[in-house]
Amino acid sequence: MKLFSTIAISFALLGAAGAQTYLSPCDIDQSPDKKTIYITAHTGRQLLCFDVASKKVAKCIDLPAQPSGTVHSTDGKTLFIAGGGPDGRIWKVDNGTITGEFETGHTPISPVPSPDGKMLYVCNRFDTDVSFIDLASGETVARVPVLREPVAADVTHDGKFLFVANHIPDGRADVDYVASKISVINTATKEVETIPLVNGAEGVRDLKVSPDGTKIFATHLMARFLVPTTQLERGWVSTDALSVIDVASRSLEYTVLLDDVDQGFPNPWAIGFSKDGNTLVVSSAGNHEISLINLPAMREKIEAEAKAAEGEAHLNAHNNLSFLSGIRKRIKLAGNGPRALVVDGEFIYIGNYYSDTLEVVRVSKDWSTRSGVFQLGPQQKLTPERLGEIFFNDSALCFQNWLSCATCHPDARTDAMNWDLLNDGMGNPKNVKTMLLAHQTPRAMWLGVRADAETGVRAGIKHIQFAVRPEKDAVAIDAYLKSLEPVPSPYLVDGKLSDAAKRGERIFGEQGCIGCHPAPYFTDLNMYDMGTTKGQDEGLPVDVPQLIESWRTAPYMHDGRAATMRDVFSEFQHGNVSGLSEKQINDLSEYVLSL
Look at residue 32 and tell me whether its pLDDT is greater than 60: yes
CATH code assigned to 387-482:
1.10.760.10
Q: What is the three-class DSSP state of 553?
A: coil
Tell me, what's the pLDDT at 410?
A: 98
* Average pLDDT for 70-98: 97
Please name which of 343, 312, 338 lies closest in space to residue 208, comparing C-alpha atoms: 343
126 or 6: which leads in pLDDT: 126
Please name which of 403, 377, 380 lies closest in space to residue 392, comparing C-alpha atoms: 403
CATH code assigned to 499-594:
1.10.760.10
Percentage of the chain lying above the pLDDT 90 cut: 93
Tell me, what's the pLDDT at 311?
A: 56
Rounded distance between C-alpha atoms, residue 555 and residue 432, angstroms: 9
Cα 324 off chain centre by: 24
Please write the tens of the pLDDT for every residue from 389-421.
Answer: 999 999 999 999 999 999 999 999 999 999 999
Tell me, what's the pLDDT at 315?
A: 54
* Average pLDDT for 316-334: 93
Tell me, what's the pLDDT at 312?
A: 56
Asked if 109 and 125 count as a contact pair (C-beta separation under 8 A), the reply is yes
Give me the residue spans of the domains in the chain.
387-482, 499-594
The model's pTM = 0.95
Tell me, what's the pLDDT at 17?
A: 40
Other CB atoms within 10 A of residue 30 CB: 18
* Average pLDDT for 134-163: 98
Look at residue 260 and tell me whether its pLDDT is greater than 60: yes
Tell me, what's the pLDDT at 7?
A: 33
5 or 241: which leads in pLDDT: 241
8 or 164: which leads in pLDDT: 164
Please write the tens of the pLDDT for every residue from 413-434.
Answer: 999 999 999 999 999 999 999 9
The upper half-sphere exposure of residue 492, i.e. CA atoms within 13 Å in the direction of its Cβ, equals 14
Question: 387-482 and 499-594: same fold?
Answer: yes
Look at residue 9 and tell me whether its pLDDT is greater than 50: no
Q: What angle do CA 218, 219, 222 make, to 5 degrees?
A: 120
Asked if 288 and 272 count as a contact pair (C-beta separation under 8 A), the reply is no
Please name which of 378, 337, 344, 379 lies closest in space to residue 361, comparing C-alpha atoms: 344
Instruction: Please report which confidence band the pLDDT of residue 16 belongs to, taking 50, 70 and 90 as the band edges.
Output: very low
Rounded distance between C-alpha atoms, residue 271 and residue 182, angstroms: 16
Rounded distance between C-alpha atoms, residue 384 and residue 407, angstroms: 21
135-158 as b/e: b if 16+ CB within 10 A = beeeebeeebebbbbbbbbbbbee
520-556 as b/e: b if 16+ CB within 10 A = ebbbeeeeeebebbeeebeebebbbbbbbbbbbbbbb
Tell me, what's the pLDDT at 239?
A: 97
393-429 as b/e: b if 16+ CB within 10 A = bbbbbbbbbbbbbbbbbbbbbbbbbbbbbebbeeebb
Instruction: Please report which confidence band the pLDDT of residue 304 belongs to, taking 50, 70 and 90 as the band edges.
Output: confident
Tell me, what's the pLDDT at 317?
A: 79
* Position 347, amino acid: F
Sheet containing 150-155, strands listed edge to edge, beginning at the edge strand earlier in sequence: 150-155, 161-166, 181-186, 192-196
Asked if 252 and 198 count as a contact pair (C-beta separation under 8 A), the reply is yes
* Average pLDDT for 240-262: 96
Sign, CA dihedral 401-404-408-411, equals: negative
Other CB atoms within 10 A of residue 499 CB: 10
